[in-house]
Structure 1
C-alpha cells in the first residue's frame, strides 16, 4: 500500500468512527447506588428489624408488635396480633398460606393468616425435640418447601415443614457462639455467624456438610462492637444484583470509643473479597449511629431494616437500595 492509500484508509476509518458506523466494544460500567427512606414516611417505628413482602402485603417486625399495610401508598398500621415479645422476623409460606413469625422473647414460632386479625393459628416452642431459645430469623426455601429457623446461642439451625412435625437440626461449628440470621440464595442456605464475623454455606443439610467463609481481620468474638475493636459482627448477609451485602451490629454503646459507622454496611463480589477485606463501605449512605439489621431483596430493590440501639423508637425504619448503570 502506497502512502496516499494508507492516508486515505486512516481518514476513512476516522470518518466511520465519527459517523457511528463502527462501534467500539462497550465496557460495562460499575453500577451506581441509590438509597432512600422507604418507611415510615414520617416518624419512627417502635423498633425495626425486618420487612417482608407477600403479594401486596408488607409486614414490618417492630419489637413487641408487627406493622402492616396492603397498599404501598398507605401508612402502616399496627397488627392485631398481640402478645409478642421482641419479635425479629416474619416469612410467608405459600404452601399453607400462613405467615410465620419468630416471637423471640417468648421462645417460640407462631403462625397467622392475616395481620389484621388477632388470631394465631399455631405456636411452636420446639423443633426436632430441641427447645427454641430466642429464635431470631426464619426463611422459606421456595425450591423445596422447607422452612429454616435458628437458635442463636445454641448454634442450632432447624429445618422443618409447615407444623414442625417433619424437622431436622444442623449443628454449627463450635466457634459460632452467636448467629443472628439465615439467608437462602439460589436454593442454598447460608447461616450468618454474627459474633464470629463469618458465614456458613450449607452444602448438604441432611449430611451436616458445610463450608465456612471468614471475614477480614476479625479481632474479637462479640455480639456487637465496632470495626476497629471487633471486626465485622454480622447481622445479615444477602445477595442482590450481583453483589453480596452485609450489615454489622455497630453502635456507640459497644464501640469502645471507636467509629461505630465504619463498615457497618458493606458490599462485595465474592467470598474471597470478604476474606481479603476488598469490599465497598456503604455506611455513609445510611444515617449515622443507627444499626442496619436484616436485609430483604424484593423485586428490583434491597430493603434494609434499621433501628437506634441507644434510643428505641427513634430513627427506626426501612431504607430502600436500588442500582443503576453509572454514566
Structure 2
C-alpha cells in the first residue's frame, strides 16, 4: 500500500510540475502589452525607427525626421532636409553629434540638432569602400566605435567620428541582404535578413564571429511569409530577459500565405532561435503591417511599423511593456 501511495505521490508531483510549467508559459504570454505610442493623430509615413537621446526623441521616416524634446508634446518635422529613404539615427555622446543613414543618397550624415537646418558632415565611403544604401547605424557606448553596414553585400563598417580608423567585416560568405545592427552588453550583432540568421561578432578586429541560424529557413529572400520563406529578419534586440525579432512579412510578398504569422517573435536563447521554440507575439500588432526596427528604452521596447502597400496607413511607433 505504501508503495502504491508513493507511486501516486510521484505521479501527482509530475502532474503538478507540468501544470506549473504550463501556467508559467501562460503567464509569459500574457505579461506583454503593446500600445500605440506616437503619433497621437495621423501617422509617420514609412516609419522605420525611433531613438531616445537625453530629452530628444527622433523618428526616422524615409525623407523626413520627426523630433521632440517634450514627451507630452506633438512631434515636429526636423529642419534637416535633403534626406532620401533614411532608415536610422544614432547619437554619439563623444562628439555630441547625431548620425543618420541617408540611405537613398548612399551616405551617412551628421548633425548637431534636429531643429537646426545644418548638416555637420557627410560620408560617402568607409575603409575605402563606397556606401551603398547604408541601413542601420549604432554606437558602442563602452568603446566609442560607430558601426554601419552596406545591406546588399553584408559589409559591416567600424569607425570613429567622421570616418577615422575605419575597418570592415565582410560577412557576404554567410549573409545575403542584411538590414540591421544591434549592440547588446557591448557585443555587436549583425542581422542577416534574407538568410534569416544573426551573426554575433566576438572580436571585430580579429574578424571572429559566431553564426546563429533560425529554425526552418526555407528560402533566401528579402521579404516573404513564415510559410514560404521562414524568418526574414528586419531587426533583433534584447529586452528584459528576451530576444525580440521582427520579420519583413506583408501581403505583397506573402501571396496566399498568412503574412502575420511569426512576424514578431521573442525567445530566451539562441538555441531557442535555432529550434523554433519562440513565442509569436504578432497578434499584438495590427494585421498586414511590417514591424521594423526595435528600440529598448527604460522599461519599454519600442517598435516602428509601416504599411508596405500603402505608406502612411498605420505607420506608427508602438510601445511594448511587461507586467511585473
Corresponding residue of 2:181: 182
- Cα contact 2:155–2:172 (8 A) shared by 1: no
Q: Map residues 9-158 of structure 1 onto 2, 5 A cutoff.
A: 30=28, 32-158=31-157
- Secondary structure, aligned partner of 2:183: strand
Question: Unaligned 5+ residue runs, structure 1?
Answer: 1-26
Q: Tell me how far 1:140 sits from its aligned partner.
A: 0.3
Q: Secondary structure at the match of 1:213?
A: strand
Does the 8 Å contact 1:251/1:291 carry over to 2? Answer: yes
- Provide the C-alpha distance between the structure 2 equivalents of 1:262 and 1:46, rounded to a whole number of angstroms: 24
Match of 1:258 in 2: 257
- Residues in 2 aligned to 1:241 and 1:46: alpha-carbon distance in whole angstroms: 29
- Partner Cα separation in structure 1 for residue 139 and residue 164 of structure 2: 16
What is the CA distance between 1:175 and its match in structure 2? Answer: 3.6
Secondary structure in structure 1 of the residue aligned to 2:31: strand
After superposition, the CA RMSD in angstroms is 1.1
Deviation at 1:192, TM superposition (A): 0.1
CA deviations on 1:113-142 (whole Å, 9 max, x unpaired) are: 000111000000000101000000000000
1:199 matched to which residue of 2?
Answer: 198
Aligned pair count reads 299
Name the CA distance, whole Å, in 2 between partners of 1:263 and 1:50.
Answer: 20
Name the counterpart of 2:210. 211
Larger-Rg structure: 1
Structure 1 Cα separation of the partners of residues 96 and 253 of structure 2: 40
**Which structure 2 residue ranges, 5 or more long, are not aligned?**
1-22
Which range moved further: 160-169 or 285-294?
160-169
Task: Confirm or deny: 8 A CA contact 2:200 2:211 kept in the other structure.
Answer: yes
Instruction: State the 1:154 CA deviation.
Output: 1.4
| Mapped partners of 2:90, 2:172: distance in 1 | 26
- 1:281 aligned partner: 280
For residue 274 of structure 2, give the secondary structure of its aligned residue in structure 1: helix
Q: Distance in 1 between matches of 2:318 and 2:206?
A: 38
Partner residue, 1:8? none
Q: Distance in 2 between matches of 1:283 and 1:211?
A: 28
2:160 matched residue in structure 1: 161
Helix, strand or coil: the match of 2:59? strand
For the Cα contact (< 8 Å) 1:229–1:256, is it kept in 2?
Answer: no
Cα deviation per residue 1:150-199 (whole Å; 9 max; x = unaligned)?
00001200000011021100010424110000000000000000000000
Per-residue deviation, residues 59-116 of structure 1 (Å, max 9, x unmatched): 0000100000010000000001000000000000000000000000000000000001
Partner residue in 2 for 1:19: none
Q: Helix, strand or coil: the match of 1:310?
A: coil
Question: SS of 1:228's equivalent?
Answer: helix
Whether contact under 8 Å (2:88, 2:135) holds in the other structure is yes
Q: Between Structure 1 and Structure 2, which shows a larger proportion of helix residues?
A: 2
Displacement, 1:256?
A: 2.2
Residue deviations 1:181-226 (CA, integer Å, cap 9, x gap): 0000000000000000000000110111101000000000000000
- Per-residue displacement from partner, 1:6-35 (whole Å, max 9, x unpaired)? xxxxxxxxxxxxxxxxxxxxx986470110
